[in-house]
Structure 1
Amino acid sequence: MLGVTEVGMEELLSALSKLGLTGFEARAYLSLLGRGKSTGYELSKASGIPSSKIYGVLHHLVSKNLVLPLESHPVRYLPRPPEEWIESCVQTFTETFSFLKKNLADLYQKGGQEEVVARNLMGRTDIVRKTRELIAQAKQSLYIALWREEWRSIQGAVKRVYGRGVEIYGVAYGPVPIRIGKVYQHAASDIFLRERGERRFVLVSDDESALFANFSEKDSEKAVWTNNKGLVLLFKDFIIHEIYIVKIRETFPKEIARAFGPNWEKIRLPQHSSSAGRPQ
């Protein structure tokens, strides 16, 4: 099709499919945008849609108000300007979502739903999306514990809430370039990374919601998020405890290394302890 690369074409077809167009409908509309008014026969040749299918496809596009048939012989079809159609879609979807948001929420509340203590998330995309959402909701404080890889994905969201006065506290495992709030540099010796190849991530927003995730290069990435007050405060206490560990290590570096090893192996790994196989 004119003026569209193969990669761009696939992206356009995918986007149009999300708005309810079939593959043939999307190809026909894109072909018309590139060609201008065309007969069904011409469009079939240009788009690669079988001639036996093209008129049914055009009929559906006309019914969806994406294509206008012209009074001519043979009939030619003209694409509706994309800006006009997109604006119409935006208005329709906005009204529909507004209606659903109110009425579905009312229906849910009337159902007397029991509290869900925690919800699962699978995959990095959904985890990062939910993390950014919880960050954006913060009004007073954020507590975070994270590695460099996760900081890259959320730094923009964190900087925006920091800019409007939200306080930032936390720990960064290894060298993470965080220069806002009070974030302490924790030695990159986290036991989950050493033993399981997983990076731990914790976020607490305003003491109201929390998210705990494990990011792995080998297995599926998973997380839980919650509004349960007890769990939220538990996750917050974990981050505060990590901050205490950093402060203790900074104050007594030689003593800790001598007593527990450079990476605290003697206190964290049972085989190094001297009391019936349990850490001291």
Structure 2
Amino acid sequence: MSETLLKTLTKLHFTEYEAKAYLALLEESPLTGYAVAKKSGVPRSRIYETLDHLAGRGDILVSPGTTPQYTPIPAKELIKNRRREANDHFKLAEKSLAEFEQSSHDRDNIWNITGRNEIIDKVKNCIATAQTRILLEVMEEEYEEVEEELRQATLRGVNVTIIAYGDISSDFAHVHLHYMGSAIKEEYGGNWIVISADDVEVVAGIVSLGTDSRAAWTRHVGLVMPITEVMIHDLYLMEIMKEHRDELEKTFGKNLVNLRRKFSIHPDFKKHYLK
């Protein structure tokens, strides 16, 4: 049996025993397992394990029966299959390495997005690539623009949870209405949007300034973690307010206004981020 052929096949991911068995069958087939062992020199104790591996990989065919017989796929077909598998591996490696390289780069950076439409487009992209969970804090105007993307995400099996400001309802997502509704806009002086996708990516920004709107997009864990956890704590507050609103407002004022006054640095207690 040609040593050159054996070495060639081992470079195509054949073991020595597999190469010997395949070449024996290529020379003469069909053969029983016993006959393959005898012709190839593969020990009888290893021949059926070797033939099973070859058959499982599609390099040989088995005719069932009391005494199975084996035949190889043609050499040209074998090479074609190996070439296709190699190309598939190269394509997967190219794609995976590029994604890893980009992901590694993204994890260390915070990117600025300018313009309302550009921010909404980035949010849509986050929704489209999410695989497990989306947390979205949004006002009704912006919700209408991303509703269809969110619906498609749920069809992929993504859990979508929304902290909603204003009149937002959904037949596919978990919606938690903020206790201040759209009235909060007056206090904050504008609209914002925050999304956390799969706990690995966030977009957060102001979207009520037209082309001057600003947002940050990042995979940096130093921002992804606190922003995601703040949204989860907002959900805690929504649940607490739903169950105990009357009691809480007796202590902290309507819509918890006394708390907001307590922790504001401005005399009118309103937010002044937009200047």
TM bracket, shorter-chain basis: 0.5 to 0.7
2:243 corresponds to 1:251:
yes
Alignment of 1:170-181 (within 5 A): 170-181=162-173
With over 3 angstroms needed to count, the CA separation of the structure-2 counterparts of 1:263 and 1:165, relative to structure 1, is same
Number of the residue aligned with 1:261: 253
**Computing the radius of gyration over CA atoms, which structure comes out larger, 1 or 2?**
2
Number of the residue aligned with 2:60: none
In structure 1, C-alpha distance between the alignment counterparts of 2:205 and 2:113, rounded to whole Å: 9
Stretch of structure 1 that moved more, 215-224 or 153-162:
215-224
Number of the residue aligned with 1:199: 191
Alignment of 1:122-271 (within 5 A): 122-188=114-180, 193-216=185-208, 220-270=212-262
In structure 2, C-alpha distance between the alignment counterparts of 1:219 and 1:268, rounded to whole Å: 30
Q: TM-score w.r.t. structure 1 length?
A: 0.53
Q: Which runs of no fewer than 5 residues in structure 2 stay unpaired?
A: 1-93, 270-275
| Cα RMSD for the two superposed structures | 3.3
Contact 2:106 2:218 in 1 (8 A): no
Measured after TM superposition, the shift of residue 197 of structure 1 is 1.2
With over 3 angstroms needed to count, the CA separation of the structure-2 counterparts of 1:205 and 1:271, relative to structure 1, is closer
With over 3 angstroms needed to count, the CA separation of the structure-2 counterparts of 1:239 and 1:123, relative to structure 1, is same
Which has the higher relative contact order, 1 or 2, with Cα contacts under 8 A spaced 6 or more apart?
2
Measured after TM superposition, the shift of residue 175 of structure 1 is 1.6
Q: TM-score w.r.t. structure 2 length?
A: 0.54
With over 3 angstroms needed to count, the CA separation of the structure-2 counterparts of 1:215 and 1:251, relative to structure 1, is same
Contact 2:135 2:161 in 1 (8 A): yes
Secondary structure of 2:121's aligned partner: helix
In structure 1, C-alpha distance between the alignment counterparts of 2:181 and 2:168, rounded to whole Å: 14
Give me the identity figure in percent.
23
Measured after TM superposition, the shift of residue 247 of structure 1 is 0.9
Secondary structure of 1:183's aligned partner: strand
In structure 1, C-alpha distance between the alignment counterparts of 2:234 and 2:210, rounded to whole Å: 26
Measured after TM superposition, the shift of residue 218 of structure 1 is 7.8
Amino acid at match of 2:194: V
In structure 2, C-alpha distance between the alignment counterparts of 1:271 and 1:163, rounded to whole Å: 41
Aligned residues: 170
Q: Which runs of no fewer than 5 residues in structure 1 stay unpaired?
A: 1-101
With over 3 angstroms needed to count, the CA separation of the structure-2 counterparts of 1:114 and 1:174, relative to structure 1, is closer
In structure 1, C-alpha distance between the alignment counterparts of 2:105 and 2:145, rounded to whole Å: 34
